[in-house]
Copies of this chain bind each other. A is one copy, B any other.
């Protein structure tokens, strides 16, 4: 599958894709890969640079990367699209990847992870993009293989924000040309993580909208919306949660692929991840509180309705009985003949109705109807 789309309208089809991970059929050889027929054709872009020069070759062949491992330039081989098996396999050979790496790269989506291979560091994470004109978000898997002098990236599809970084390399802006492949990896990771913030902000607004609705006018749709928010935040959390430990390990462990100077930047990524999780957990708690509020609010509404029923019934049922009493057709009913029978009865009814009303007023039952 190329990308996991997440939206309310088509939630039935998408949901399953979102919450599952890609897995092998039991008993297949480890390291074997299955190309998704819907995956985009693979396109390899090679960028090489040092402090003085920067080259870029679009749509190049894996064999052009052979020199990356030996020359002194920093190389970034970026594969967009996971649909052309022979390109992927050639890249695997050129960069001498462990067979399990390519399996993880191609079987999307995987749970985000960081793995240490000899001389290579594999980082898998998800990029995120809010859906256009819609509620929800789309994620895409991105895999980084960081080597001594090179960075290899695999994307399901093109990521627009990377062009900014390519420009910075081209124009020699910032420190990217002074520092190594590890700093480049940081720049890309940082971009991916910063994309989570605006997605989260949308949920903040949706929760806010609910807060107003819920007390004034709870309905089936409110309930559905709370559930959807909880479900999507759960999906978001699964996508970001593993990063927390990953970056923490990365910044603590001794790793010869990341220089000391760049460590402090990875630590910054770690803090951003914590901030995202912090907001996420807050929203999850708020959404869970809102469920409680909704139940209370419905209960309150029912109280209101039932109180009205009780007031009206309690006042009129006894009166109706009295009316019924004197509607009986017995021959010997002395009251019927009395001069003031009718008016006496009316007065009695008034007394009962007044007494009841007074009782309800004293118990504060009328207040419910003045609340709004």
Contacts and interface: CB of A to CB of B under 8 A. Distances in A.
Contact of A291 (B19, B215, B271, B296): B296
B337 A331 contact: yes
Nearest to A365: B305
Query: Can you tell how many copies of this chain the complex includes?
Result: 5
A161 B27 contact: yes
A86 interface: no
Interface in A213-256: 215, 217-221, 223-224, 227, 230-231, 234-235, 238
A212 interface: yes
A358 interface: no
Contacts of A113: 271
B364 A234 contact: no
Given A211-B227, A285-B234, A293-B223, A342 B337 contact: no
A329 B326 contact: yes
Interface stretch (A62-70, A145-153, A187-195): A187-195
A336 B342 CA distance: 12
A310 interface: yes
Given A161-B26, A164-B27, A319-B321, A371 B220 contact: yes
Given A20-B197, A235-B282, A330-B336, 15 more contacts: A27-B164, A30-B186, A98-B264, A111-B271, A215-B220, A230-B289, A231-B289, A291-B292, A299-B302, A305-B365, A324-B324, A328-B329, A330-B335, A331-B337, A331-B341
Interface string A312-355: 11101111110111111111110111111110010000000000
B274 A194 contact: no
Interface stretch (A37-45, A47-55, A201-209): A201-209
A178 interface: no
A58 interface: no
B314 A317 contact: no
Interface in A102-133: 110-111, 113, 115, 117
A310 B306 contact: yes
Contact of A278 (B174, B230, B238, B320): B238
Contact of A318 (B190, B316, B345): B316
Which of A293, A302, A317, A328 has the most B CB atoms < 10 Å from its CB? A328
